[in-house]
């Protein structure tokens, strides 16, 4: 009853309110010529796995992309602040990446990595040049889940130990191995997955970690608490020797959750004392998205033993990689380990073009400048609205945590989250959702986004929050 009444009130308000003005775009979408929307919806329900959920009450039927924009089948334009779940790193349909893929498709699609072909060697050299010693050996795969699976496999083979540690709220994929490392209940199934994986529970919220402007909020105190909890897991939940520890430099699906300064460095040391290797899951944080550094682990002054990358690596093309030292890589070479599509010629050419685009277009610097600007503008709303509990992040990786009120910090109910989320979409802004309780809006756009786009996004979000508060007051 509340929801239906709130929806009616919101629709009335929309009809009388001015909508924030969308920044211009110099491209008109091509005419949509595929099946009608209702037929597409029918196919989706009948022939596509129901586990593949769609966003929004009326699922979007997207037709074309350009830069930071997406167009639906009716030609309506949206500012994409979620980048295909943090995957479109440069821009939608980047001309250089597109041209590289088209050229390679006309030359050589696939031979498998049992033969040498120029793109795989060229890309391996270019990619590993961006990582510090001894991370100079790459194994190419097709997805982040597959990369994390392989990293776990490598860690166990190399150390001859079994147990691994991950964090509460960490997301590392949905394959059987990776699900053991993933610690978000909505991804869990009622069968055994990822045996030997132990979760370190975070006892304190993000407000005691690294905050809006990168400042510390009681950071030393929070770090000590986190380390004590980490030690407790090592001392009570795992054997004296472990295989490894995996962590995202900033938790992505959990809503841009950061660690206190110095925590990850000390955690790495504790793991290595137990004989384990340290794995950095850079699937969402890599390729300049954090702005200040190309890789997220660099912000913590650590060098992992294994790095996993995916998503932004191919700007939407399905590819991923595991990068490690020659010593660890050699442990996998004792027996055959094969991947049919890993190192595919087209994938390698796309990956190489993405690296060129990031450098030539200055996208890491743009992530830092526009990301910081956007973060601070969203942070201003935290002081205006009681339901914004925290605004946090780094570069173009931002989380806005929604609460009932700042005193209780209880998650904002799903119904209210959905109203705000749908309203933003109706005004032309697409954002993600995350957090253990799905209480955090996730903002991770293509790295080409501008300050004008940021202003529009903040204005849309402000309008949606204002409508939500007025609607809630009217319903009460």
- Residue 88 is assigned to a structural domain of this protein: no
The answer, yes or no, to whether residue 215 has pLDDT greater than 50, is no
> Partners of 70 in the beta sheet?
65, 78
Count of domains forming the chain: 2
Are 48 and 115 members of one domain?
Answer: no
Say how far apart CA 425 and CA 419 lie, in whole Å.
10
* Mean pLDDT of the 234-249 span: 97
Query: Residue 207's pLDDT is what?
Result: 45
What's the 3-state SS for 370-433? Answer: HHHHHHHHHHHHHHHCCCEEEEEECCCCEEEEEECCCCCCCECCHHHHHHHHHHHHHCCEECEE
216-227 per-residue burial string, b: 16 or more CB within 10 A, e: under 16: beebeebbebbb
The answer, yes or no, to whether residue 221 has pLDDT greater than 90, is no
> Partners of 165 in the beta sheet?
198, 245
The answer, yes or no, to whether residue 384 has pLDDT greater than 90, is yes
Domain boundary among 331, 360, 389: 360
- Residue 86 is assigned to a structural domain of this protein: no
Cβ atoms within 10 A of the Cβ of 45, count?
A: 10
* Mean pLDDT of the 336-344 span: 91
Are 137 and 270 members of one domain?
Answer: yes
- 209 confidence band (pLDDT: 50, 70, 90): very low
Are 186 and 299 members of one domain?
Answer: yes
- 194 confidence band (pLDDT: 50, 70, 90): confident
Query: Can you spell out the DSSP letters for 98-164?
Result: HHHHHHHHTT-----TTS--HHHHHHHHHHHTTS-TT--EEEEESSHHHHHHHHHHHHHHHHS---E
Q: Assess contact for 442 and 430: CB atoms under 8 A.
A: no
- 222 confidence band (pLDDT: 50, 70, 90): confident
Are 339 and 385 members of one domain?
Answer: no
Say how far apart CA 399 and CA 407 lie, in whole Å.
19
The domain that holds 62 is classified in CATH as: 3.90.1150.10
Query: Residue 92's pLDDT is what?
Result: 97
Q: Which two tokens stand for residue 368?
A: 């830092």
* Mean pLDDT of the 107-122 span: 93
Are 337 and 287 members of one domain?
Answer: yes
- 205 confidence band (pLDDT: 50, 70, 90): very low
* Mean pLDDT of the 124-139 span: 98
Say how far apart CA 302 and CA 225 lie, in whole Å.
20
* Mean pLDDT of the 286-304 span: 98
Are 315 and 441 members of one domain?
Answer: no
Peptide bond into 134 cis (omega under 30): yes
* Mean pLDDT of the 38-67 span: 95
231-262 per-residue burial string, b: 16 or more CB within 10 A, e: under 16: eebbeeebeeebbbbbbbbbbbbbbbbbbbbb
* Mean pLDDT of the 190-204 span: 81
The pLDDT mean for the chain works out to 92
* Mean pLDDT of the 337-346 span: 92
Q: Which residue has the higher pLDDT, 241 or 175?
A: 241
- 210 confidence band (pLDDT: 50, 70, 90): very low
Q: Which two tokens stand for residue 186?
A: 């909505």
Cβ atoms within 10 A of the Cβ of 38, count?
A: 8
- 4 confidence band (pLDDT: 50, 70, 90): low
* Phi, psi (rounded to 5 degrees) for 197: -105, 125
Query: Residue 193's pLDDT is what?
Result: 84
Percent of the chain with pLDDT over 90: 83
- Residue 333 is assigned to a structural domain of this protein: yes
| pTM greater than the 0.85 cutoff | yes
What is the chain's Cα-based Rg?
23
Query: Residue 218's pLDDT is what?
Result: 57
Domain boundary among 343, 360, 377: 360
Considering only CA atoms, which of 175, 176, 235 is closest in space to residue 200? 235
- Residue 51 is assigned to a structural domain of this protein: yes
Say how far apart CA 71 and CA 326 lie, in whole Å.
45
């Amino acid at each position: 009853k509340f929801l239906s009444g709130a929806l009616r009130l919101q629709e009335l308000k929309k009809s009388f309110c001015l909508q924030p003005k969308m920044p211009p775009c110099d491209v008109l979408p091509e005419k949509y010529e595929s099946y009608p929307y209702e037929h597409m919806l029918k196919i989706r329900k009948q022939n596509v796995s129901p586990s593949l959920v769609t966003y929004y009450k009326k699922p979007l039927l997207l037709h074309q992309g350009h830069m930071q924009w997406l167009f639906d089948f009716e030609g309506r334009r949206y500012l994409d602040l979620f980048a295909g779940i943090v995957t479109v790193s440069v821009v939608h349909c980047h001309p250089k990446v597109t041209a590289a893929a088209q050229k390679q498709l006309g030359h050589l699609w696939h031979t498998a990595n049992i033969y040498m072909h120029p793109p795989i060697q060229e890309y391996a050299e270019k990619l590993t040049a961006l990582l510090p010693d001894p991370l100079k050996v790459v194994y190419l795969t097709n997805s982040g889940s597959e990369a994390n699976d392989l990293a776990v496999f490598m860690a166990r083979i190399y150390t001859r130990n079994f147990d691994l540690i991950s964090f509460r709220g960490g997301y590392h994929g949905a394959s059987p191995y990776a699900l053991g490392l993933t610690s978000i209940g909505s991804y869990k199934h009622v069968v055994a997955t990822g045996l030997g994986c132990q979760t370190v529970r975070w006892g304190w919220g993000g407000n005691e970690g690294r905050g809006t402007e990168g400042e510390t909020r009681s950071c030393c105190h929070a770090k000590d608490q986190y380390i004590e909890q980490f030690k407790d897991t090592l001392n009570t939940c795992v054997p004296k020797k472990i295989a490894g520890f995996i962590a995202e430099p900033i938790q992505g699906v959990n809503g841009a959750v950061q660690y206190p300064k110095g925590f990850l460095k000390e955690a790495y040391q504790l793991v290595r004392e137990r004989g384990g290797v340290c794995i950095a899951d850079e699937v969402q944080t890599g390729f300049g998205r954090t702005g200040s550094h190309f890789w997220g682990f660099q912000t913590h002054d650590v060098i992992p033993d294994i790095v996993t990358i995916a998503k932004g690596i191919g700007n939407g093309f399905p590819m991923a990689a595991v990068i490690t030292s020659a010593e660890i890589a050699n442990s996998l070479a004792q027996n055959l380990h094969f991947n049919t599509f890993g190192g595919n010629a087209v994938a390698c050419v796309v990956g190489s073009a993405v690296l060129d685009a990031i450098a030539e277009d200055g996208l890491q610097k743009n992530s830092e400048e526009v990301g910081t600007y956007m973060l601070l503008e969203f942070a201003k709303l935290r002081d205006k609205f009681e339901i914004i509990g925290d605004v946090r992040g780094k570069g173009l990786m931002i989380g806005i945590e929604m609460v009932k009120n700042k005193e209780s910090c209880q998650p904002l109910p799903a119904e209210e989250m959905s109203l705000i989320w749908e309203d933003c979409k109706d005004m032309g802004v697409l954002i993600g959702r995350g957090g253990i309780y799905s209480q955090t809006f996730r903002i991770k756009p293509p790295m080409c986004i501008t300050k004008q786009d940021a202003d529009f996004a903040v204005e849309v979000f402000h309008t949606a929050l204002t409508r939500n508060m007025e609607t809630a007051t009217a319903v009460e």
